[in-house]
Amino acid sequence: MKYSVKGNDIIVSEPDLDLDETLDCGQAFRWKKIDSVHQCTYSGCFLNDRLTVSQTRKGEFIFHDTSEQDFLSKWSEYFDFSTDYSALKKLFSDDDTLKKACAFAGGIRLLKQDSWECLVSFIISQNNNIPRIKGIIDRLCEHYDGKFPTAAQLAAETPDSLAYLRSGFRAKYICDAAERVASGKTDLSAVAKAPIDEARKALMEIKGVGPKVAECVLLFGMYRTEAFPKDVWIKRVLAEYYPAGFPEFAAENAGIAQQYLFHYIRNLEK
């Protein structure tokens, strides 16, 4: 990644990034495409910081109204710019299916999201479709002045008071997660550093968090790249292309490989 400062913007050159593939691939639900005519532009948030970012036709990225300091300390981290995705894709290309997946959607990067927001988002994601997940999270943030509510804020709610979300049976799970995190029974920052099986176990103590949601929180909210969420799509990939198991050489970064495969198989069947 190379960058330069231009007025109030940061101009970034990074071949292994595509905004559509990264911001609208089902790992984060709060990025909105606000322009697709002039150039590809998204607006979204990380914690309490909002960003508008564009991808130009030349393949450069404009981080609008961003100081160099904020770019380096926040957004460069969030977009995982310190990781060499070319090297990862080269590693993955030893496997034929992964090679195809990387060629198809090589602009996906793993976003380093907030663990609490990720936990709630993927609780909402269960047995749900992406447009509706986005709608529920939209209504949730709208209710808190455009910001994602804290665990303490949600701990004050009940499934009834959350009826406006239209989240169905998931409301009681959101409440349990909020109560556990706000009270300290679940310490997300400790979970993030724990050995992975211990971390899985701790997350699954929360009602509504099973193996899939726990794995998503570990991968998308705690940057545990060895986490490997198995949703209905990935299960199809595993059954069809990896009957003998997922290749060991990719185990350390299985979660990132999973992102390429998820996008690949979903679009293959359209």
Partner DNA sequence: CGCCAGGACGCCC
Partner DNA sequence: GGGCGTCATGGC
Question: What's the closest the beta carbon of residue 231 comes to DNA, in angstroms?
Answer: 4
Q: Does 66 bind DNA (CB under 7 A)?
A: no
Which of 211, 249, 267, 268 forms a contact with DNA (CB under 7 A)? 211
Which of 234, 250, 256, 257 forms a contact with DNA (CB under 7 A)? 234
Q: Does 222 bind DNA (CB under 7 A)?
A: no
Cα separation, 222 vs 27, in Å, equals 13
Q: Does 231 bind DNA (CB under 7 A)?
A: yes
Question: What's the closest the beta carbon of residue 72 comes to DNA, in angstroms?
Answer: 27
Q: Would you state the structure tokens that stand for residue 239, as one six-digit string?
A: 């059954």
Q: Pick out residues in 97-136 that bind DNA (CB under 7 A).
A: 125-133, 135
Which span (56-64, 84-92, 227-235, 243-251) binds DNA, by CB under 7 A? 227-235
Is residue 49 within a helix (H) or strand (E), and if so which, with residue range?
strand 49-55
Q: Does 209 bind DNA (CB under 7 A)?
A: yes
CA quadruple 13, 18, 20, 21: dihedral positive or negative?
Answer: negative
Which of 210, 240, 251, 267 forms a contact with DNA (CB under 7 A)? 210
**Residue 232 or 239: which CB sits closer to DNA?**
232
Phi/psi zone of residue 45: left (φ > 0), alpha (ψ -120 to 50 degrees), beta?
Answer: beta
**Cβ density class 173-209: b for 16+ within 10 Å, e for less:** bbbbbbbbbbeeebebeebeebeeeebbebbeebebb
**Residue 73 or 158: which CB sits closer to DNA?**
158
Q: Does 163 bind DNA (CB under 7 A)?
A: yes
Question: What's the closest the beta carbon of residue 48 comes to DNA, in angstroms?
Answer: 24
12 — phi, psi (to 5°)? -120, 135
Cα separation, 156 vs 158, in Å, equals 7
Q: Does 164 bind DNA (CB under 7 A)?
A: no
Q: Does 196 bind DNA (CB under 7 A)?
A: no
Which of 16, 107, 258, 264 forms a contact with DNA (CB under 7 A)? 258
**Residue 10 or 224: which CB sits closer to DNA?**
224
Which contacts (CB < 8 Å, 24+ apart) does range 162-170 have? 164/139, 165/136, 165/139, 165/140, 166/135, 166/136, 166/139, 167/124, 167/136, 170/123, 170/124, 170/126, 170/128, 170/208
Question: What's the closest the beta carbon of residue 230 comes to DNA, in angstroms?
Answer: 7
Q: Residue 53: name the closest of 79, 26, 29 by CA.
A: 79
Q: Write out the residues near DNA by the rule CB under 7 A.
A: 25-27, 125-133, 135, 163, 166-169, 204, 207-214, 216, 229-234, 258-259, 262
